[in-house]
Structures are given as C-alpha cells and as structure tokens.
Amino acid sequence: MSEKLYNVLFLCTGNSARSIMAEAIMNRLGQGSFRAFSAGSHPTGQVHPQALALLQRLNYDTSSARSKSWDEFAADGAPKLDFVFTVCDNAAGEVCPIWPGQPMTAHWGVPDPAAAYGSDPEIALAFSDAYRMLDARISIFTCLPLASIDHLSLQQKLDEIGKS
C-alpha cells in the first residue's frame, strides 16, 4: 500500500521569496510524502533574485520557480490541498479563496527578506535567516505522524510550529 501524498500550499502576498523558498524546501524534505506549491494574493510576477541565488547555492532546482496567484489553486482542476500555510503577516490577514479539499491551515510568519535593506551582506543575511526559519519549521512538520494524529491535535501542532 502506498503512502498518501499530501499537497501543501505556502502563501505570501508577493510570492517572490518566502513562499518560493518554502515550496522548494518542502519538495526536497518531503519528497515522496508531500508535494508543495506556492502562491501569492498579489504576486509580483517574478521570483526575487536573492531567493533564487540562495536556493541555487544550496543545490535546489529553481527552473520551475515562478510567482503566481493563489487563484490558480482555487480554480477547477486545482490540486486538492491538504495544508495551507501563510508565511507572511499580510497574507494571514487577507480573506483567502475557498480551497479545494478543505485543507488544514496555520500561520507560520517569517520576516520578509525582500523588504530588507542595507549592504549586500545584510540583505543576504535576511534571506538566509528566512530560509533557516522555514527549513526548521518544515523539518518539524514533515516528521509529524500525520496518519495517526487526530485533527485537533494536529491543528495544535501546526500552530505551535508557527510560533517556533
């Protein structure tokens, strides 16, 4: 019997950095158990160059990374979502579309590295910090015993991960 493949959507306003990195991390760490996507409420239309550079330095395939609207995941024929995580405070406060599959949701806010300013090393550090936070949370999430945990306990764990 094959293991269930869980679909996970990471949301941010611009879908240019945090949600893109989260999608890449989940697809690597959760390979075989999770399939990740990312989207934005108001996508910028391009992936931030610093996000791409960081992922490429860490040997991620970025060839399919693109900034896209969350409307793609609420449309007919969209993947049935099991989990939706907001990774920015703006997206967490917005009224989201109705997601196919009634997924579990949680807010995993991370400071926006695309809003960082300063020297090149300071900006690179902001991207590295965001990556590190997302990687830690996703690592914890992928280790949860999803098939054997009740809905209420799982929701509590998802919320706790967002506070870590």
**Which of the residues are catalytic?**
12, 88, 96
Integer Cα distance of 128 and 134 in angstroms: 10
Integer Cα distance of 20 and 11 in angstroms: 9
In 57-136 the beta strands, taken as DSSP E runs, fall at 83-86, 104-107
Integer Cα distance of 15 and 68 in angstroms: 7
